[in-house]
Chains A and B, each alone.
Chain A
Amino acid sequence: MLFNSFEFLLFFPLVIFLYFALPYKYRWVLLLAASYYFYMSWKVEYILLIILSTLIDYFAAGRMAGIADKKRRRPYLYLSLLTNLGILFGFKYFNFFRDNVNAVSDQFNLFVQLPELQVLLPVGISFYTFQTLSYTIDVYNGKLKPERHLGIFAVYVSFFPQLVAGPIERAPHLLPQFRQHFQFDYNRVREGLMLMLWGFFKKVVIADRLADYVNKVYEAPDAGEGLTNLVGTYAFAFQIYCDFSGYSDIAIGSALIMGYRLMMNFRRPYFADSIREFWQRWHISLSTWFRDYVYIPLGGNRAVKWRWWYNLFITFLISGLWHGAAWTFVIWGAIHGGLLVLGIWTASWRKAFWNGTGLGKLGALRRLVEVVVVFHLVIVAWVFFRAETLGDAMVVLKSFAGLSPSGMKGLSQSLQSFGMLEVLVAIGTIGIMEGVHLLQEGGMSMHKRITGLPMPLRWSVYVAGTMLIVLFGKFSTQGEFIYFQF
């Protein structure tokens, strides 16, 4: 079930009504049933994978809790890791692995040919796998006591607002909330609804609109000239941001209505003035997961310089692979890892440049330049993320190199076929979003600002926001969320 579907429009109010109507002690039953139904409406049998992960991790964590010696806890951790990563590998990475093994085998005449697994990738598998893995690792490290209530633990693994695309919650943050008795709170529910409205605006008005253009450009990148491909990539940058952060807003908002506070997942990432800051603003729940469970265990920055750089690079390489079983994603991760290392390496030179030229004193200008540069570095990496193949990515990048004014004709044609009104709506709505972001960057809380308005104005904002979605949302071509595939 998609958040932007008619089904969710009926499902969600019903769940909320039942949630507040039920006594506290039965709420976990409702949440579990609703979450499993939510997942099964996509593919019934794959709920078994979630149940398997839930049972194994519940068992493993339960056993680890009774063992004081860390070494003796290890087999249970391995059981959890093997099960969860094994399922993930089988469903997500096996065919990628097979393609590469077979290709190497062909190259060296080794006659090894692995068969193809004809399985559909379970939606959101990487998200719930990482969420449940963090739980067993935390229990293993003694940072967390295991949850004794199987039902509540099952809700933690499958909580429907964030089941298929995050935020990837940590057990110490989310699990205790399932034991809290949340009452209906008008202000909290209103805040949740406003967040959902904002998420829907980003998803159905901006992301799904841009998707039409981006798909056309990336379906045949060799057909477009550099300028067309560049505009298509700019559009993708906003599409993926609005798609994923829109999903997160709807997830956080819908959980908030029930009383649960999920972690922030995006903080206006295109306002970052360094790649490091970009990753403190983009998909925060994943980047902090990798920080805590990969980067720090590898040694983090408490090592000699080359080892520190290596740790960073490897973490991002794995992060790329997490996104998808394809070399394009690996390279995307490698670019970000490389840029981070480069950022550290050149930090003193850049500082010297800003100070030497005196431009460093113009703080706003310096920040603007850095934001623009970082945005364009991210854009280059997005090419690999979006392209179907490495070949397509190279075609797009090469076309950037051949940018010329003559490309205006091709760009104009591609925009005409998209529809000039669509172009204007896209630009206008991105403008609205970035305007709001700019105010938020200045420290303004939109929620407080809106709720502080006089009633007629406040209600006008609610009506205008809803009307924007009704009038300009894409409903007939129901766009899946990009991150579902991960």
Chain B
Amino acid sequence: MIKLLIRLGVVLGVVAVLCLAILKVIPANQQAYLAGLNDKQARIDSLQASGQPKMVLVGGSNVAFGIHSGMMEDAFGLPVVNMAIHAGLRYEYMINQIMDYPSQGDVFLIFPEYSQMYDPISDAGPIIYQSLDVFPQGFQYVHQGNAYQQLKFRATATAEIVQLKVKTTLGKLAGMSAGNAYKRKVFDRYGDIWTPLTLESRYKADDKHMDRNAGKLPSEDFIRITNAFAEKAAAVGAEAYLVYPAIAEAKFDAEVARVTREDLRNRLQGIEMVNNPADYVYPNTLFFDTKYHTTQDGRVRRTEQTIGDLRPFLAR
């Protein structure tokens, strides 16, 4: 048995050394879409350091694609940072990322996508793992479970990062790369995506995401995380609002939206809902490639509408 254990140890040791070599030798692809996290983090840090009140936009890629921060800045006179990048980071990550940033006079707009309400915990998922390669700071924003969960997370994340590096290298060698819409350079200084907005809509409405959530209510975790943030913001004199994203008409389920909204109204504390989801259902042609990613026209329409809905709250 000792002989086997030694030999097994040697084989696994060689595998570990090879993986370590891959981690050390192949640099993180800092031109990748998720590397935009670094720029967003830098902007929120800089606004925080300035001591001036700020407006922080939080959510998945629906906000990255769908809100024009410049228009928001003009409308409300607050410097804006768009923290949103990808729903796959999960809601818990997004809220953890801004948890230490509320200051007096700040406005936080949280735009959760439907899927995030049902499954908000950031304890697994390819996007989380991939983000850690380009933004290792993100380790502190993922779900902090018990020692076993952390061990499992770290082991899986390490394997995923090794895979990512190898695949990126192989992809480069084979001349393959992600589409132009998904690179770090697509973000402007606010953190909005600007590159794909000049492109035509190519959304086909063939995803079935919304259907899978029919009949579900937002999870306890979603309520707990949101309420905790709202409480933190209120304690320092900042305001937090929940805003429904715009969604393609092909994928809008009025009943799911109604039930969800009603439930949130009953269970959320210290955070108001700014808009009615049914008012943000747009034609499919206003979406770029998914039911949440608006085109240029969709973004302008959504931003104008959001400003209109938000004005009565911020005027108080």
Contact = CB atoms under 8 A, between A and B. Distances in A.
Interface stretch (A68-76, A159-167, A269-277, A460-468): A460-468
A223 B171 CA distance: 28
A459 B4 contact: no
A421 B156 contact: no
A378 interface: no
A186 B126 CA distance: 38
Given A184-B1, A189-B4, A420-B174, A472 B163 contact: yes
Contact of B3 (A186, A463, A471): A186
B216 interface: no
A51 interface: no
A420 B167 CA distance: 11
B316 interface: no
Interface string A257-282: 00000000000000000000000000
Nearest to B15: A466
Contact of A421 (B129, B160, B174): B174
A476 B11 contact: no
Nearest to A413: B204
Contacts of A220: 206, 208
Nearest to B176: A420
B11 A223 contact: no
Contact of A467 (B10, B18, B152, B204): B18
Contact of B171 (A190, A421, A467): A421
Interface string A193-207: 100000000000000
Interface in A435-486: 459, 462-463, 466-467, 470-473, 475-477
B156 A6 contact: yes
A189 to B, nearest CB: 6
Interface residues of A, number: 25
Contacts of B204: 223
B163 to A, nearest CB: 6
Nearest to B8: A193
Contact of B159 (A421, A424, A470): A470
Interface string B119-162: 00000111001000000000000000000000010011001101
Residues of A contacting B: mostly? helix
B298 to A, nearest CB: 22
Contact of A476 (B10, B14, B126, B174): B126
A23 B60 CA distance: 56
A220 B206 CA distance: 7
Contact of B176 (A6, A421, A463, A467): A421
Contact of B155 (A6, A193, A466): A6
Given A6-B152, A421-B167, A463-B14, A470 B208 contact: no
B18 A476 contact: no
B174 A463 contact: no
B225 interface: no
Contacts of A424: 174
Nearest to B125: A476
Nearest to A463: B14
A123 to B, nearest CB: 21
B257 interface: no
Interface in B23-71: none
A20 B1 CA distance: 9
Contacts of B206: 220, 223
Contacts of B170: 421
Nearest to B128: A476
A3 to B, nearest CB: 16
A471 B176 contact: no
A106 interface: no
Contact of A470 (B125, B162, B171): B162
A219 interface: yes
B303 to A, nearest CB: 29
A435 B11 CA distance: 24
* Chain A CB within 10 A, most for which of B10, B125, B163, B170: B163
Contacts of B18: 463, 467
Interface string A212-225: 00000001100100
A139 B124 CA distance: 49
* Chain B CB within 10 A, most for which of A189, A420, A459, A475: A475
A475 B129 CA distance: 11
B210 interface: no
B274 interface: no
Nearest to A184: B1
B106 to A, nearest CB: 34
Contacts of B156: 6, 475-476
Contacts of B8: 193
Contacts of A421: 167, 170-171, 174, 176
Contacts of A473: 159, 163
B208 A466 contact: no
A470 B160 contact: no
B235 interface: no
Contacts of A184: 1, 4
Contacts of A20: 1
A419 to B, nearest CB: 8
Interface string A351-391: 00000000000000000000000000000000000000000
B98 interface: no
B250 to A, nearest CB: 12
19 contacts: A6-B156, A20-B1, A184-B1, A184-B4, A219-B208, A420-B176, A421-B170, A421-B174, A424-B174, A463-B18, A466-B11, A467-B15, A470-B15, A470-B159, A470-B162, A471-B162, A471-B163, A471-B166, A476-B160
Given A466-B11, A470-B15, A473-B163, 10 more contacts: A186-B4, A193-B8, A220-B206, A459-B11, A459-B14, A463-B11, A463-B14, A463-B18, A466-B12, A476-B124
Interchain residue pairs A-B with the least CB separation, the first 5: A476-B126, A6-B152, A223-B206, A462-B11, A466-B15
Interface of A: 6, 20, 184, 186, 189-190, 193, 219-220, 223, 420-421, 424, 459, 462-463, 466-467, 470-473, 475-477
